[in-house]
Amino acid sequence: MNIFEQYLDKIKEILSTLSSSGDLILPDSLNGVTAEIPPSKFDSDISTNVAMVLSKINNKSPSDLASILAEKIKKEDKFIEEISVVKPGFINIKFKPIFWTNFIKEMIKNSKSFGTNKNIKRNYLIEFVSANPTGPLHVGHCRGAILGDVMANLLLFNNNKVTKEYYINDYGNQIINFTKSVYYRIREISFNEPFPVDNEDLYPGDYLIDFAQNILNSNKNIDFKNFDKISKELTSLAINEALKLIKNNLKSLGINHDNFVSEKKLVENQEVEKVIEFLQKNKFVYKGKIKAPAGEDDSNWVEREQLLFRSTDFGDDKDRALQKSDGAWTYFASDVAYHKNKLDRKFDRLINILGADHAGYIKRISSSVEALSNSKDRLICKVSQLVKLIKDKKPFKMSKRKGDYITIEDLINEVGKDATRFIMLNRSSDVELDFDFDNVIEKSKDNPLYYVQYCYARICSVYRHLDKDLKSDLDITNYDFEYSKDEIKILKKLSEWPKCIDVSCNKLEPHRIPTYLYELASLFHSYWNLGKENPDKRFINDQKKITDDKLIFLKAISNVVKSGMNIVGVSTPDKM
């Protein structure tokens, strides 16, 4: 039940009637007409720009047309208490208290579906994390992992289909170096040989000792004296160890992927050759030379003929190489094949969650998907910016190559899964985030997770004192009551929940959910504190009873908090 959509439909019906009678000229489309949340400085519930959209075609000033339309809108709706025109031509609508009584009645009646959009059903594939299978996930992966998972929860809540996918980069030089690193750790354990720490190509992290020991324990028949003879088998075993660790890291965050797709298998199945053939057939590739990358010394750059993808035809700054000098496929070629594989699975939308270091990769892969699908809209890339960890007002630093970086396991052990998920999502993914350990463990308004959870726990405490179950459905037939201004303020916020879901889905911005929940919790706590001085504001009266209006009021708030926290993937404890 989205009141903004409902009133937008009512406004469009009025416009259609006025058009039919010859009193109004309409454009071919009314897509520009909106019903929005008014700025807080106005004592209104809904604001529409309809007059500004239609003023030019009707040869009237926005204010004059707004005055005419405002009169028509109020005449058609018995629930409008006041309607006003605000410069440059917005129409602001304020409802009677009875509107909010009817609103909460419908909200309770449709509690399981409140906030969802039943009309939009798409099939999404979200690829996220996709870290190289060379070790544990660190904090640099954490934000993107949570972003992808909560985005999936959000789209599912809004009645879409979602598949969560991890692309395993198990092909190429980094895997050769990773396998050698595990091999040297095995030699260190079995033959007491020192690990070659001076070799910068190797991965020196201590976690490789665990990998090596696990492989030794379960593969006693393998002779680890000659790397070349066992490299293929050892690569498979090492990647398996890394993936087990990565999956456990993700599980500790509450994340489970539906699919794991191997780059190596794509290459072995000749999917790269197949996509190159497709691109050649459609004249998207050619043999040519590319100049040195920006910032690189031209004197050290050797121009050579390569197989290039016509990325510039789709807005990229240069064409992209598909093949290396030794004839091997570039990482980009494998990625194009992977996205062809995605497209062949008939998803309506592909979503890639990329780290900040891959932001420059967006244009080339978007260009390839446009070439493969003949559509600019099939692929959406979202960037997860860097996270700065702060403790005792000092930054935590990490270095993946040295093996002393902060892992996801370290972070969860420090603050827990719920805090990690909520705080990582607390700002838009396209801006850097400061993760302050001191704020995360505080039991105050400065800790948004605590503040929202405490809102739910307080509601549970009221129900518990009344020996009622908050999770049970309410059986109330008489809604003959009116809410106060303080209560209507919260009901207005509840009415924004479906719009929050709608905007979050359309923009793929799940950070709006914790922001909304914090704002709702703030309103609730302010109302709760009024009861300390005003007995009428208390939920439980002197007779240890609660009125139906307050019982429903609390239930409505708890339903939205619970829905929102489920989307974010964090708990709502009954007691705190």
- Contact assessment for residue 316 and residue 294, using Cβ atoms and an 8 Å cutoff: no
The CATH classification of domain 123-169+258-384, taken from the options 3.40.50.450, 3.40.50.10300, 3.40.50.620, 3.50.50.60: 3.40.50.620
List the structure tokens of 543. Answer: 């007779």
d(CA 233, CA 415): 39
Reply yes or no on whether the pLDDT at 50 is more than 50: yes
Mean pLDDT, residues 554-565 taken together: 97
Which of the four pLDDT bands, split at 50, 70 and 90, describes residue 89?
Answer: very high
Architecture of domain 448-568: Orthogonal Bundle (1.10)
Whose tokens are 């809102």? That residue is: 455
Would the pLDDT of 120 be above 80?
no
Q: Is the pLDDT of residue 401 over 60?
A: no
Of 32, 155, 156, the residue nearest 509 (C-alpha): 155
Express each pLDDT in 451-482 by its tens digit.
999 999 999 999 999 999 998 888 888 888 88
Length in residues, the chain: 576
Nearest one of 179, 171, 166, 299 to 230, comparing CA atoms: 179
Tokens, residue 361: 């990769």
| Residue-level pLDDT at 79 | 94
The CA-atom distances, in angstroms, between 83 and each of 75, 93, 102 are 10, 5, 20
Q: Which two tokens stand for residue 242?
A: 């890394």
Residue 167 has pLDDT above 70, yes or no: yes
Amino acid letter, 485: K
Q: How far is CA 307 from the centre of its chain?
A: 36
User: H helices then E strands: how many in the chain?
Assistant: 20, 15
Residue 417 — pLDDT band, cuts 50, 70, 90? very high
Mean pLDDT of the region 408-425 = 93
pLDDT at 399 over 60: no
Domain ranges of the chain: 3-95, 123-169+258-384, 448-568
pLDDT of res. 402: 46
Q: How far apart are CA 441 and CA 439, in angstroms?
A: 6
Average pLDDT over residues 338-364: 94
- Residue 403: the pLDDT is 55
- Please, is 312 exposed, middle or buried when counting C-beta atoms within 10 Å of its C-beta (0-12, 13-18, 19+)? middle
pLDDT at 532 (0 to 100): 87
Question: CATH topology of 3-95 equal to that of 448-568?
Answer: no
pLDDT reading at 132 higher than 50: yes
Q: In this structure, what token pair is assigned to residue 575?
A: 């007691």
Crossing angle, helix 331-344 and helix 271-281, to 10 degrees? 80
Q: What is the pLDDT of residues 277-331, one digit of tens each?
A: 999 999 999 998 877 666 666 666 677 788 999 999 999 989 999 998 788 899 9
- Determine the CATH number of domain 3-95: 3.30.1360.70
The pLDDT of residue 400: 46
pLDDT of 377 over the 60 cut:
yes
- Over residues 71-92, mean pLDDT: 94
| Per-residue model confidence (pLDDT) at position 294 | 67
Percent of the chain clearing pLDDT 70 (strictly above): 97
For residue range 429-453, list pLDDT tens digits in order.
Answer: 999 999 888 888 888 888 999 999 9
> Do residues 555 and 539 touch, judged by C-beta distance below 8 A?
no
* Calpha distance 434→506 (Å, rounded): 26
